[in-house]
Structure 1
């Protein structure tokens, strides 16, 4: 599986939001959901602010694959569960804080809760 290109990483990182569509069990795409996205090195991550009970997060469980759009990048991806990724969690929290910390605390804070941290997904190009 090839990784992200430098151009794709830069474009996704600079995008304010990402649209994610997960694949249903029959292979069709679900409706797109808009969310925040961060980059950590060569990897791209999203979190469910409602944790594992979030509807879009539950939708990723069917096939662990889907499609994303952000910053002009339109790509098929695999969803890799990170959960509370140990050493990754503080880096991702910092990435979210740097990118979205300008939002009010009640909005920004929802993406750095233990619930959201436990529902972290790494997006892998496929």
Structure 2
């Protein structure tokens, strides 16, 4: 799973969109644990506002653009609609 930072917030998307099994799991639990850069944190999954999608797209391009055949899958409209903001719990 690729997490990105846009501004002061962290985001994640499901390549398979809102129908993907991973995303569906976030709907039932609404919380999880992330680990990045040696930091482990409990987070809540919050739906991102569509107004945030452009910044999240740019963050994915900046962070993972060196993998163009992969990153394009998180930039589809299907994936964009599953954008979740990760908030500390």
- The two structures have a TM-score, normalised by structure 2, of 0.93
Q: Distance in 1 between matches of 2:26 and 2:5?
A: 20
State the number of aligned residues. 89
Quick one: which of 46, 52, 66 aligns to 1:80? Answer: 46
Q: Which has the larger radius of gyration?
A: 1
- The two structures have a TM-score, normalised by structure 1, of 0.67
Runs of 4+ in 1 over 2 A off after TM superposition: none
Match of 1:25 in 2: none
Structure 2 runs not aligned, ≥5 long: none
Q: Distance in 2 between matches of 1:62 and 1:91?
A: 27
Match of 2:78 in 1: 115
SS at match of 2:29: coil
Structure 2 residue 3 is the aligned partner of structure 1 residue 37: yes
Query: Offset of 1:37 from its aligned partner?
Result: 0.9
Structure 2 residue 68 is the aligned partner of structure 1 residue 100: no
